[in-house]
Chain A
Amino acid sequence: MEMMKEDEKIRMLKEDLEDLKMYIKEFSDFLPLPVCTINPIGIIVDINKAVEVLTGYTTFELVGQDISIIFLEKKEIEEIEEIIKQKGTESRELNLLTKENKKIPVRIYASIRKDREGNYLGYFLAFFDISEIKALQESLEEKVRERTKELQEKIRELEKFYKITLGRELKMIELKKEIKRLKKELKEKNNEIWKKNLRKNQPKG
């Protein structure tokens, strides 16, 4: 079998590299999840199309900037970098700041990058827009608050009703006792009268 010439090998390697470049670009453009590549000093070195769409910044505006530019919690970003160096990954909720200064709640996922020798190269940072989930959560919490308020109102009404009915019940018991006492008193009086009459009508001897 004829040995491949050096030029031919280089040509094939170049073609492979071009294909790889195209594949990465196509995949990155397709990926609906916004992903950034961050270098060891916190500078954005690459972003995909989804980042442009979500933040409103172009690649030209964002690449070369500090990652904290697109987050409200600047201090937390520094903390995250330290955590990634120790743990390798990190996930938490933050607020993204768009070019128009609009705040978008996001959940971030960060994962460390290393070279073959194990040197720290920075990290990948993906973020997921959770504004719809947050809105749903807030609407559910509002509903729960409303229901709780309604229930508390009902409980108050029931307590009031209970107090009224209980008062009436106690009065009835009192009245029944009074009737019973009066009945007894009446009976005793009648008995006394009867005895008196009996004595009066007895023949004197």
Chain B
Amino acid sequence: MITKKEAEEIMKIKGNVRGEGILTDLEYVRYREGEVGLKKLEEKLKELGWQLKFEEIKSTEWYPIGLDVLKTLVIKDLFNWTEKDIFEMGAYSARVSFLVKMLLRYFVSPQKAFQESPKYWRKNYDVGELEAYEFNEKEKYMIFRLKNLKLHPINCINFAGYFLQMAKYVIKSKEITIEETKCVFKGDPYIEYVIRWK
């Protein structure tokens, strides 16, 4: 279990995230653990010194990114979730997010969606940059890089679930996979994801 001291360290991470990102994760907790689960999460965060009333979170407001990281770590500990569950939480977020639904209006083709993705990152995070590095329709893969961003390894898994779902919105294939090929926590200068399809 995360200690108060560890929570304080996490909260020192610089940057902000839109409330929508937090709300969709909380929605997934409700889906999996019910209202009781949400209550437990709220209480645990309070216990760690971070009181956050979930019903007061606004989707367009900015919140400390540390809080988003802390909440994800507490969820994993509290409900004994696996990395796969955290990955699924990311995918769920892309399925229910109001901001994603509005953004999808502009995803008229896979190439267009690929080009537009960095702008979308900026709308949700005020730290880090998403680089749409390579789109290869012939070889059926695309590469994204997350630069100047070092949150926590758990977020790399969560982002992977999110990016994979976003790719599934624009690529019609029964087999789409995502692989984290580079990671800042493994000594690489940035996080890199390769999405492949058949």
Partner-B contacts on A (CB < 8 A): 14, 17-18, 21, 24-25, 37, 39-43, 45-46, 58-60, 63-64, 66, 115, 119-121
Closest to B112 in A: A119
Residues of B in contact (CB 8 Å), total: 25
User: Which residue of chain A lies nearest to B98 when distances are taken between CB atoms in the complex?
Assistant: A21
Given contacts A14-B58, A17-B60, A63-B95, contact A45 B108 (CB under 8 A): no
| Interchain nearest-CB distance for A49 vs B (Å) | 13
Complex alpha-carbon distance, A70 and B91, angstroms: 21
For residue A21, give the distance in angstroms from its CB to the closest CB of chain B: 5
Q: A40-B108, A59-B96, A64-B95 are in contact. Are A18 and B169 (CB under 8 A)?
A: no
**A60-B92, A64-B95 known; A21+B108 contact, CB < 8 A:** no
Instruction: Please tell me if B59 contacts chain A, counting CB pairs below 8 Å.
Output: yes
Seen from chain B, the residues whose Cβ lies within 8 Å of a Cβ on chain A are 28, 31, 58-61, 91-92, 94-96, 98, 101, 104-109, 165, 168-172
Do the beta carbons of A60 and B95 come within 8 Å of each other? yes
Report whether A18 and B96 are in contact in the complex, using a CB–CB cutoff of 8 Å: no
What residues of A have a CB within 8 angstroms of the CB of B168 in the complex? 43, 64
Q: In the complex, what residues of A have CB within 8 A of residue B98's CB?
A: 21, 24-25
Chain B residues whose CB sits within 8 angstroms of the CB of A21 once the complex forms: 59, 98
Is chain B's interface secondary structure helix, strand, loop, or mixed overall?
helix
In the complex formed, the residue of A with least CB distance to B165 is A64
Besides the contacts A21-B59, A60-B96, what 5 more A-B pairs have beta carbons closer than 8 Å?
A14-B60, A17-B60, A43-B168, A60-B92, A63-B96
User: Which of the listed residues B31, B96, B101, B105 has the most CB atoms from chain A within 10 Å of its own CB?
Assistant: B105
Assembly CA distance A39 to B95 (angstroms): 13
Residue of A whose beta carbon sits closest to that of B20:
A21
Assess the A59–B108 pair: CB atoms within 8 A: no
* Known contacts A42-B172, A58-B31: A115-B108 contact under CB 8 Å: yes
Nearest B residue (CB) for A65: B168
Tell me whether B169 and A39 are in contact (CB under 8 A): yes
The prevalent SS among residues of A at the interface is: mixed
Contacts A60-B31, A64-B168, A64-B169: A115 and B58 contacting too (C-beta < 8 A)?
Answer: no
In order of increasing CB-CB distance, the 7 nearest A-B pairs are A63-B95, A14-B60, A41-B172, A119-B108, A21-B98, A64-B168, A45-B104
CA–CA, A37 and B100, complex, Å: 13
- A127-B59 Cα distance, complex, nearest whole Å: 31
| CB pair B170 A18 closer than 8 Å | no
A45 — which chain B residues lie within 8 A by C-beta?
101, 104, 169
Q: How distant is A112 from chain B, measured CB to nearest CB, in Å?
A: 13
Taking a contact as CB atoms under 8 Å apart, the answer to whether A43 and B58 are in contact is no
Q: Which residues of B contact A17 (CB under 8 A)?
A: 59-60
Minimum CB–CB distance for A120 against chain B, Å = 7
On chain A, the residues within 8 Å of B61 by CB distance are 14
The complex places the Cα of A119 from the Cα of B104 at a distance, in Å, of: 13
With A and B bound together, what is the CA distance between A45 and B60 in angstroms? 21
Q: A21 to B58: give the CA distance in the assembly, Å.
A: 11
Q: CA separation between A37 and B107, bound complex, in Å?
A: 14
Nearest A-chain residue to B28, judged by Cβ = A60
In the bound complex, CA of A18 to CA of B170 (Å) = 27
CA distance A59 to B95 in the complex (A): 8
Closest Cβ of chain A: how far from B24's Cβ, in Å?
A: 11
Cα(A17)–Cα(B20), bound, Å: 12
